[in-house]
Structures are given as C-alpha cells and as structure tokens.
C-alpha cells in the first residue's frame, strides 16, 4: 500500500463488506464500489498495485465466492497463472451473477415510471441507475427518448413544444434544465 497520512489512520474507516457469491447484480455492484473506495482511500491503486488488489480482494470474500477465489486464484494447480484485478472482478461476475439477474436490470429500466411526488429529476436518476446496471445499457438517444416519453404530457407540452427541446437535437443536460 502507498503511504497513508495520519488523518486517514485516525478516521478508523470501515472495511468493505464481504461478497458471498449471491446472484444479485446490485449486491455485487455495491460490493465492488465499496472495495474500490477502500482501495482508493489506502492508495492501493495503479498498475503497480494490481497484484496487491488481487491478494487483498480475497480477504473480502466469503462462502462460495471465497472457495472460488481459493481454487481459481490461489491454488497451485489453478488453470490461469496470473490474474489481474480486472480479470478477478470479471471472473466473479461471470461465475456468480447470472443472466436472470442481469435481465432484472433491463426489466427494471423498462418498468421505471415518472412519479408526480418525486418529480423529473428523481425519474431521471431512477432511469440512470437502472441503465447503469444493465449488461447492455441504452445509447444516449434511446435513454433521452425513454426519459422524455416517460414524462407527463403537461410537462412535455409546456416545456418541450415551446422551447423546441427533443431527444434528437438536445443533450440530456439541456433536457434536465428545462424540466426542473
């Protein structure tokens, strides 16, 4: 690990949780984000730290994910001799997060609807969250269309027709500025 300042040591930061091989895209994604934040805080970053990240990641696994790690990464008779951190995360994903979980993200994206109590920004954030979880996220144009067509007619008529905002000619930032 790189040198950590006294302010980081004094903070007594929590460690990432352990991933146990659940077939749950959101749990896997949250675990990876916790792990990456932890590594950034303790400066276990960059290409020179790749071996350390692979080694330390094994400490944040449990159950069948830990068994997979021991067999595939640590075992003397493993099939792949060198694992990069990226290969490790992709290997865990391929082994434990199955197509059904990935399909759930696409379904959630398709089922996301505008909520009058939450407003347009919350609708955008919900769509963006679901799109981020998808194996093949929508392109920018398709996302803008889904967002615009999901808004209530009153917003579309007032804002988009009067100001000539469209999915074809406007950025998502311009669209968001108009609906807020």
pLDDT at 169 over 90: no
Contacts of 104 (CB under 8 A, 6+ apart): 25
How many residues does the structure list for the chain? Answer: 180
pLDDT single digits (tens) 7-50? 555 567 789 999 999 988 889 999 999 999 999 999 999 999 99
Q: Identify the residue whose tokens are 């990641």.
A: 57
Of the candidates 161, 131, 159, 155, the one whose C-alpha atom is nearest the C-alpha of residue 143 is: 131
What's the pLDDT score for residue 3?
A: 59
What's the pLDDT score for residue 21?
A: 94
CA pair distance 123, 40, nearest whole angstrom = 31
Tell me the CB-side half-sphere exposure of residue 14, using CA atoms within 13 A.
4
pLDDT single digits (tens) 126-149? 999 989 888 788 999 999 999 999
pLDDT at 77 over 70: yes
State the pLDDT confidence band at 65, using cuts at 50, 70 and 90.
very high
């Amino acid at each position: 690990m790189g040198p950590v300042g006294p302010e980081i040591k004094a903070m007594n930061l929590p460690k990432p949780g352990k991933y146990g091989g659940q077939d749950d895209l959101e749990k896997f994604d949250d675990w990876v984000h916790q792990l990456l934040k932890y590594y950034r805080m303790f400066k276990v970053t960059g290409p020179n730290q790749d071996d350390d990240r692979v080694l330390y990641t094994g400490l944040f696994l449990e159950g069948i994910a830990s068994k997979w790690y021991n067999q595939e990464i640590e075992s003397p008779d493993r099939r792949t001799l060198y694992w990069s951190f990226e290969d490790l995360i992709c290997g865990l994903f391929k082994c434990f997060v199955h197509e059904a979980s990935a399909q759930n993200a696409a379904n959630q994206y398709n089922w996301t609807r505008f909520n009058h109590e939450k407003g347009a920004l919350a609708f955008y954030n919900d769509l963006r969250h679901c799109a981020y979880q998808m194996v093949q996220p929508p392109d920018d144009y398709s996302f803008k269309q889904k967002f615009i067509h999901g808004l209530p007619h009153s917003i579309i008529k007032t804002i988009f027709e009067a100001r000539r905002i469209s999915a074809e000619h406007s950025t998502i930032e311009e669209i968001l500025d108009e609906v807020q």
